[in-house]
Chains A and B, each alone.
Chain A
């Protein structure tokens, strides 16, 4: 026997001493060495060690089965139900935006995981009870340790950034380099350690260990969870010439493209709305320019940053650069209350076993080509579900709250018939109120307490950018489609559908007139035409030149479909390049005499403004009446120059910015009620719609055009004249696009 074979295997002895969970390891080692000296082989020795290890582990599991059950249940819930749809609403339910930092960040990022981690505590409690070792303090300690460990694990990616790597081909996304199996094991270990430490008798040693763990995690999390901020941000005032021409879709951006977060033409109110997740009408106070002055924000952060974190970063930017001081609060706002009516309830209790129809309320489908949504059909619906659908009807913008104060519980079957009257306030819809009355319910206006944001102070100008912003955040080259396919000619019956982003950066447009595409790409006003459109395209009345597009935006520039309205600038830039390439277009801008307006004073009838009011105009009670679109425009604390700039947003007849020739100084409050279609129908008779049937009188329009209302109600006038303005001129364009 060689010297090596004479000795028992050292590694096996080390394994036995250090890895086997038993109190008898020393005696067992001695026994094994004694037997080995009597002639047993090294293989026998190893086998004995492995059996001792397995027996030890089995004994530990048997002794601590509640801990293992808790660890298994916790791992399963956390790993496999983390993205469950049922949990996605938890951060919103906690009103995380209203919480002070850092609780807002914890609520936004960790609330779902925390709920999943704490749920299996019931299992641990039951196990400890069966084992007769239940103590509330054990549960509390286990829960606290678990949350600490999970928070530490969650923020470890910030603490150890090398744990994340970019997804190849998707610079905006990152993945964790820890393999999924290892992640599951880490979760399992965290749960097991939490249960083990939590359920230990509270010796001084254990207490010291726990305190050390909490302190260590606190320091690590504290460093990692410093309120999120962009790595670098440049903020400057938007050029007035840029934004005053595009009032219809003023703000752009607000999403991450690669490592850049950009906002263009955003007011401070826009930024507050995005950063704090509140509706604009729930933001109170602040200076009068809050919704008027506009800013450009270009910031850099890690690709793949979560939307909630981006919101917190924008909050930090507002606090650091504009010194914004905002305080969450609660105020009663006008809304609606659903309550029990005087007559007896006429609801049918839902059948318990009927599952063929989904539970809830839905607007009833169109019947025989009649008017859409003549009513609501509810099956096994709670009053909360009814309140939800009623809110969508009475407040299409979703701003007016509607609360259920019926106190009626359970699921009910009922139909609610009403005649839809677009634009009419809900309480003015007699048929809806009658319909509710028939089933024993009542809907009334009321003051509903709602979370709001009070602006205490904010600076009008941002603090200066860091010196190296221009170098580190250079302007990016104009984006263009990675790949694009044009289909021409196309089936008109399939479209048209304007270009828009779909998921994964895919862009589609279905059989859109070529002229419309050109106008969208170059931001030509809706009722104007580019100069120099080829004759073959002008003369076309057959949709012959309509085109369908399927394209893919470059990796990193793939806004979610929900951001389409905010991504028009990016889309139009890519469309321009595509059309230029495929149709070999040559274009330029030049000054041409253009029909424009100047606002002049005739007999001004304006009221001096309350300087505390927020500068701006708001459309109220917009509704269709016959062939008119009636708008009530309420403007506050606004100068005539500021008002003139915005006219093109409210008067469809004004394609270009209006000049102010009133020479009126000061700010004013006024209201204007007009028919937005009146000017258009005068210019384009096709907008009048079909002529009334024989013997039937046309519905008279009760409202005047914007220009008419301006003169009648405010004593101001729009004077038409020609002045040179930069317009798009098409120099050349091929009739057929290049092959794909």
Chain B
């Protein structure tokens, strides 16, 4: 009885659906790259725009988490000789991913708005 109550309570607990920093950056890169979003361009985008040299393994780990949260979908391209016969895995943002991005932007903007002095210094 106690066990079943406990499990019912746990069942009602919300799953974690917010974006971490790495997930946010990778998701933005996917949005920016559109149909060309796969591992190599995403890593270059992060290096160029965010100044972060992120290992490809870490990018795929973040993409895995985003896919589990249903924020991105993926599909395999055709194998090419310059990739040793391996296919590219293309990622595309989902409507849920777009919503998550908007919510995160709103939250961050609200938080930044609450810190005028810091904004002043930055400017």
Residues of A whose CB lies within 8 Å of any CB of B are 8, 13, 20, 22-24, 26-35, 37, 47-49, 51-56, 58-59, 129-130, 132, 134
CA gap between A51 and B57 in the complex, in Å: 6
Is B6 part of the contact surface with A, judged by Cβ < 8 Å?
Answer: yes
Interface of A is mostly: helix
CA gap between A729 and B13 in the complex, in Å: 93
A56 in contact with B84 given A28-B56, A132-B10, A134-B7 (CB within 8 Å): no
CA gap between A209 and B88 in the complex, in Å: 33
Q: Which residue of A lies closest to B79 (CB)?
A: A30
Is B103 part of the contact surface with A, judged by Cβ < 8 Å?
Answer: no
Point out the residues of chain B lying under 8 angstroms from A129, CB to CB: 3, 6-7, 10
A56 touches B61 (CB 8 A): yes
Quote the shortest CB–CB distance from A552 to chain B (angstroms): 59
CA gap between A710 and B19 in the complex, in Å: 100
Point out the residues of chain A lying under 8 angstroms from B84, CB to CB: 8, 13, 29-30, 33
A59 in contact with B86 given A27-B38, A48-B55, A129-B6 (CB within 8 Å): no
B60 touches A51 (CB 8 A): no
B6 touches A35 (CB 8 A): no
CA gap between A109 and B7 in the complex, in Å: 37
A selection of 20 A-B contacts at a CB cut-off of 8 Å is A8-B84, A24-B64, A26-B89, A27-B60, A27-B86, A27-B87, A28-B56, A28-B57, A28-B60, A30-B79, A30-B83, A31-B39, A33-B84, A35-B40, A51-B58, A53-B57, A59-B61, A59-B64, A132-B7, A132-B10
Interface centre among A13, A27, A33, A53 (most CB of B within 10 A): A27
Point out the residues of chain B lying under 8 angstroms from A29, CB to CB: 84, 86
Point out the residues of chain A lying under 8 angstroms from B88, CB to CB: 27, 30-31
A26 touches B87 (CB 8 A): yes
Residues of B whose CB lies within 8 Å of any CB of A are 3, 6-7, 10-11, 13, 38-40, 43, 55-58, 60-61, 63-64, 76, 79-80, 82-84, 86-89
CA gap between A132 and B58 in the complex, in Å: 27
B56 touches A32 (CB 8 A): yes
A30 in contact with B86 given A22-B64, A51-B57 (CB within 8 Å): yes
CA gap between A59 and B61 in the complex, in Å: 8
A-B pair count, CB < 8 Å, reads 90
Point out the residues of chain B lying under 8 angstroms from A48, CB to CB: 55-57
B63 touches A31 (CB 8 A): no
Quote the shortest CB–CB distance from B18 to chain A (angstroms): 16
Point out the residues of chain A lying under 8 angstroms from B83, CB to CB: 30-31, 33-34
A27 touches B61 (CB 8 A): no
B87 touches A30 (CB 8 A): yes
Point out the residues of chain B lying under 8 angstroms from A54, CB to CB: 57
Q: Which residue of A lies closest to B13 (CB)?
A: A132
Interface centre among B57, B80, B86 (most CB of A within 10 A): B57
Quote the shortest CB–CB distance from A66 to chain B (angstroms): 13
A52 touches B55 (CB 8 A): yes
Q: Which residue of A lies closest to B62 (CB)?
A: A55
A52 touches B7 (CB 8 A): no
A34 touches B82 (CB 8 A): yes
16 A-B pairs besides A24-B64, A51-B58 with CB distance below 8 A are A13-B84, A22-B57, A26-B89, A28-B56, A30-B39, A30-B79, A31-B43, A31-B88, A33-B86, A34-B82, A35-B40, A37-B82, A48-B57, A54-B57, A55-B57, A56-B57
CA gap between A312 and B54 in the complex, in Å: 63
A52 in contact with B87 given A24-B64, A130-B10 (CB within 8 Å): no
Point out the residues of chain B lying under 8 angstroms from A35, CB to CB: 40, 43, 56
Point out the residues of chain A lying under 8 angstroms from B76, CB to CB: 27
Point out the residues of chain B lying under 8 angstroms from A22, CB to CB: 57, 60-61, 64
CA gap between A37 and B82 in the complex, in Å: 7
A132 touches B11 (CB 8 A): yes
Quote the shortest CB–CB distance from B75 to chain A (angstroms): 11
Quote the shortest CB–CB distance from A234 to chain B (angstroms): 59
Point out the residues of chain B lying under 8 angstroms from A49, CB to CB: 57
CA gap between A55 and B60 in the complex, in Å: 9
Point out the residues of chain A lying under 8 angstroms from B3, CB to CB: 129
Point out the residues of chain A lying under 8 angstroms from B89, CB to CB: 24, 26-27
A34 touches B60 (CB 8 A): no
Q: Which residue of A lies closest to B82 (CB)?
A: A37
Quote the shortest CB–CB distance from A421 to chain B (angstroms): 55
Point out the residues of chain A lying under 8 angstroms from B13, CB to CB: 132
Point out the residues of chain B lying under 8 angstroms from A37, CB to CB: 82
